[in-house]
Structure 1
Amino acid sequence: MEYRDLHNWLVPEANASGTFHFSQLNTGLIGITSGNAMASFLLAAVDNANATFRSLRRWEMLGNTWIAHFGDTWKITPKLSINYGIRWDRATPSVEKDDHLSFLDPYGANPSAGGRAGRLAFAGDRWGAASFGRRHPEITFNKAFAPRLGIAYSLSPKTVVRTGYGIFYTQAFYPGWGGGSALDGFDANVSYSSTLGGIQPAFILNQGFPQNFTPPPFIDSGYRNGQNLTYRPFDANRLSYTQQWNLTVEHEFTSNFYISAAYVANKGTRLPSSTAPLNALDPKLLSMGSRLFDEFRPGDTAVNGVPLPYAGWVEQMTGCAPSVAQALLPYPQYCSSLLGLNENAGNSSYHS
């Protein structure tokens, strides 16, 4: 029996101090090519800037793995031996210590998208109507039983046949350093830009970053509408595994010379992949051609016969264009293809 307790402490620092840009326009004259970016910098006239504000100073991703194994070797006769065993693996999906975690719930009603399916859900049950209920989106897989069998048989004093078969599971997989974490709703990237064609600076740097915005957290199932968000498929904790089998025949010709002939094969199932986007356009709709790129405008109820997904949709689309193609997606409220962070839809086969 083996137990592994996994911890990943994360301290967010990226862009906490902000990123600031200076332009010649802020010290130039209207209609004349003039001004100097260095002069704008010396005057602290910011052309555009952004900073990330977080409601958490740190968060802690947790997980654990249980492993149990039994095996034995049985010498049935002087010529025949069998090695057998079974292993069980249980790798829990990652969670955040205090449920500071958010992700796509592809089935939950989105109150800011006309009640259609697909919302930002928050881990656990402490976040009111935005709570997901479980601490992680995946359903924990408890059936990772992996039998192994090996057989060796001596055909003669100089010839041996060996064969074997086994199943081998991997641990739960989350790419990158975040351990499956996403903090949508717990942080915000705030930006300001100059106006009047660049003549009016966004703000004066020595007066500090403007504070006329609502700081996070934003515990709202519609918070990421018109943007992207993290998707962890519900079935992604069904662990990846391989089946391996082989057959070897070995014959000794002299005391220091022998030949082995072997067949080796394996088949991988549910391997890490990026091949099954949740938010993809139905290929049958590609026949619409360039009409897919036409865009909705405020007040439109339909374009090219395609209805507006829901009231307020055009105004929400700040991360991508409110095109006909976007309106026809399964989740038109989100701008990404929604590839699963820990998707495991891959397969492989090898024979040698």
Structure 2
Amino acid sequence: MAATGYIGGTVLDTLVKQHPEYSITVLLRSVPDGFSERYPNVNIVHGTFDDTQLIANTAAEHDIVIHGGKPKHIPSLEAQITGLLRRRGARPGPGFLIRLAGTGIIADWQSDTYYGKLNPKIWSDVADIDEITSLPDSHLHRPADKIVQAAAVSHDEDLKTAIICPPGIYGPGRGLGNKRSLLVPEMCENMLELGHGFYAGPGANRRSWVHVDDLAKVYLRLVEAAVEGGGKAVWGKEGYYFASSQEVSQFDLAKEASRILHSHGLIPTAEPKSLSIETVREMRGGSSWEPMGVYTWACNTRTRSDRAREVLGYVPDAPSLAETLEKDLLDAVEHVKLNGPTYCPNLRL
């Protein structure tokens, strides 16, 4: 597993604390200061996602592989599958692959029907699994998901797979690398640059969210099941796990974020403003992907974590987005002061 990213670092920390008896190997491009002191029993392999032969060889030596970063990086994903299949005969039982994807797969960004408006569709990873696993390749994450699911079908006895599909993630990471989420810091920088909070159109579009600690619980439960040979978890085509714990409208999020930033004297008004779809389309946060602005600020990504709750006993209990929003926003402000802006290059504090 990669273990210095926002998700990977939190998952590693969770596994080490909950199961110090596990033998864990991580892929690191560079070793953060204090890593070996904090995780003395974790094995380190030096490399990147592009070192596919290294990844395949390492996967072949392990029973469980966590694909915890760069969810659209297909060569590394294929290398993990190749390595896990190569272990056949060396050790009893199947190999397990747990892949990180995202709710971008069901986001309604491809049509302007619901830009800034409420889409009534809430996707279930149980009731809608057939539709989710037959979406066209134009949906985010679908090409990589297809590779995982095809491998699971073709090698059912030797390879068990699961796909974790988180929504927007918030809260501080617990690893030694990146501790920052994406959406809240990006929203913060845009609000600071604009001088006010914002939402697209009427702002009724809604996004599901999960605290990074709750997301790590889904990984933990799946790893524990894999250690048991599969346990009660569902694997293969239906081994698809949304991780959402709540949902919030863009208007409500903008209103609360505006109140917080204004209360700290960071923006001149506590009232958010409606922006046109054309304006938010250009707010890409440095991404070259043209739809990024409407995907981030104008579309709906509404999901229910039915499978994780029903099969894994997933009970999210971390603080809500509303409870952590002030700290997350102020941490984002401090990051800009210390390191400069990440998403809005013209921002000055």
TM range (shorter): under 0.3
Instruction: Decide which structure has greater strand share.
Output: 1
Q: What is the TM-score normalised by the length of structure 2? A: 0.21
For CA contacts below 8 A with separation 6 or more, give which structure has more relative contact order.
2
Larger Rg: 1
Superposition TM-score, scaled by structure 1 size? 0.21
